[in-house]
Amino acid sequence: MAVQKGKKQDAKHNLPKYERVKECPACGASMQYIFGEQFQCPKCGRTELSDFGKVKQFLEENGPQPAIIINQETKVSIEYINLLLRQGRIEVPDGSEIYIKCQKCGTDIRYGRYCPDCMLKIAKSVNGVMWMDDVGEKPTRKAGSEMHYLDRMKRG
Ligand SMILES: [Zn+2]
Ligand SMILES: [Zn+2]
């Protein structure tokens, strides 16, 4: 089975446009991306973290947190946080109330685009080529839910 690992690496550096340009909160000049998820103002020298930098820093300080909490604490949009989840750059902690959904079957996953089951099916249909970075992980537990339903029942 061929495993393609390099492909997604490019996508990870392919930041959304709105993250490329940032306005300096001090003087309003256009800040430039320097390194380490930071922007620097060419006029006053002020540095600011990129949205991903903010999320990353928040998670490093607080441990894994649900998207809604990240959104509240960092002011980074849910849309962008979801994108980070889809890209596997961050993940929803196990035991959360809300997860992202597999784009094929809608089951809960913690990051990525597809659940392992769907990825396996996709892999079979495309001659065994797997895009590992698209595979997410299913949560083993869900907050406030004691119901364990079997995948088998849904397949029919
Ligand atoms: Zn400035
Ligand atoms: Zn699925």
The per-residue pLDDT for range 77-121, each reduced to its tens digit, is 999 999 999 999 998 888 888 889 999 999 999 999 999 999 888
CA 92 / ligand 1 centre spacing (Å)? 35
In a domain, 44, yes or no: no
Residues 111 and 90: beta-carbon distance below 8 Å:
yes
pLDDT > 90: percent of the chain: 46
* Domains: count for the chain: 1
Mean pLDDT of the chain: 79
In a domain, 7, yes or no: no
Across 14-28, 125-139, 141-155, least confident range: 141-155
pLDDT band at residue 26 using 50, 70 and 90 as cut-offs: very high
pLDDT band at residue 2 using 50, 70 and 90 as cut-offs: very low
Domain limits at 80?
A: 50-156
Sign of CA dihedral 95, 98, 102, 106: positive
In a domain, 27, yes or no: no
CA 62 / ligand 1 centre spacing (Å)? 29
Q: What is the per-residue pLDDT for 137?
A: 86
Crossing angle (nearest 10°) for helices 78-86 and 51-62: 80
In a domain, 1, yes or no: no
Does pLDDT of 154 surpass 70?
no
In a domain, 93, yes or no: yes
CA 78 / ligand 1 centre spacing (Å)? 27
Residues 103 and 114: beta-carbon distance below 8 Å:
yes
Alpha-carbon 85 to chain mean position: 2
Please tell me the number of Cα atoms within 13 Å of 133 on its side-chain side: 16
Q: What is the per-residue pLDDT for 53?
A: 94
In a domain, 62, yes or no: yes
Q: Which chain residues have CB less than 5 Å from ligand 2, an ion?
A: 102, 104-105, 107, 115, 118
Q: What mean pLDDT is predicted for residues 30-53? A: 93
Position 151: which residue type? D
E strands, 41-147, in order: 47-49, 100-101, 108-109, 130-131
Beta bridge partners of 32: 40
pLDDT band at residue 67 using 50, 70 and 90 as cut-offs: confident
In a domain, 60, yes or no: yes
In a domain, 31, yes or no: no
